[in-house]
Amino acid sequence: MPTTIASIRERAKVILEGICRVCSVCDGRRCPSGVPGMGGIGTGAAFRNNIAALAAWQVNMRVLHDRKDQDLSLRLFGKRLAFPIVGAAVAGARVNFQGRVSEEELARAFVLGAVEAGSLAFTGDGPLPELMDAGLKAIKAVGGRGIPVIKPREDMEIMALIRRAEDAGAVAVGIDVDAAGLVNMTRAGQLVEPKTVEQIAKIAGATSLPLILKGIMTVADAEAAVEGGAAAIVVSNHGGRALDHTPGTAAVLPEIAAAVGDKIIVLADGGVRSGVDVLKMLALGARAVLVGRPLAVAAIGGGAVGVRLQLEALADDLAVAMRLTGCGDLNDVSKGLLRPIHN
């Protein structure tokens, strides 16, 4: 098995031929496949918008300061993390990756690799039971240090899966509400639906696990999540894979964080490719950042080792970015670090 990021990416490129080119710049412009696959839905605009929204911010460099040591650690859902970077839910190996890696291998790589790096990972759900089964098995194997994300199914189905998450010892549980129209679910004849505040409140009140709603892109939905008793939200457009032409997450994150950041944990994903991107998301209001496609490539090319190495590389890059912007710890990170690009 390859043991460097470069060799891991080369191996992934071979395995993913025809699915993902493993581009040096992963921005959605040359994706050979959409959904299912690794690309964005429709025109791919939502995927590209994630990249563009992050690129719209520059970083103010500061090197005359006394912040010589960088502490990236934080507590999230009762767990100490070495850094504010976690694995996003990437699943559907049989459909999205044409079975070139098994669902169990994919889930194990994400969850174990994240734990070995000092972080945690989300796992996914989908039309095949093996997706949730693989994620819960991987989470249970590491003592519960993971977060299963459930599709916005009928409420009774969601509750049944939450009970399984509780049994696996998961630290939290999520619902990716942005999957309410997801193509692979509807094609499989499985009901997914938007949820009301009342439905969210009922689900949140029926479990002791923190409930995370992933796929929040407006202040109105963020406020509804707070009203429904969710513990956290993920500002996300599902990696540009749910609705074409949505804005990039970094474009809407500041207004969402300003509206609800003191009432609920705000996480974010979408287009993060470097530690500098992580710093931008944190400065725009996220408590921590989810990373998907880069870790998927690392998992397929190098298993759990690949995921660990990729997370550690992102964390190292973040530490350098913090040092060069005068940040000693995450409390020092603020929007004042950023300068918008005016076209």
Return the amino acid letter for 338.
Answer: L
Query: d(Cα 124, Cα 122) in Å, to the nearest integer?
Result: 7
In whole angstroms, give the CA distance from residue 91 to residue 106: 7
| Catalytic positions | 238
Residue 199 has phi, psi (to 5 degrees) of -65, -45
Reported as type and span, the H/E element at residue 20 is none
List, in order, residues 6 or more apart from 54 with CB less than 8 Å away: 248, 250, 270, 271, 272, 277, 280, 281
d(CA 104, CA 91): 10
The C-alpha atoms of residue 161 and residue 106 are separated, in whole angstroms, by 20
Q: Which helix (H) or strand (E) holds 121?
A: strand 121-123
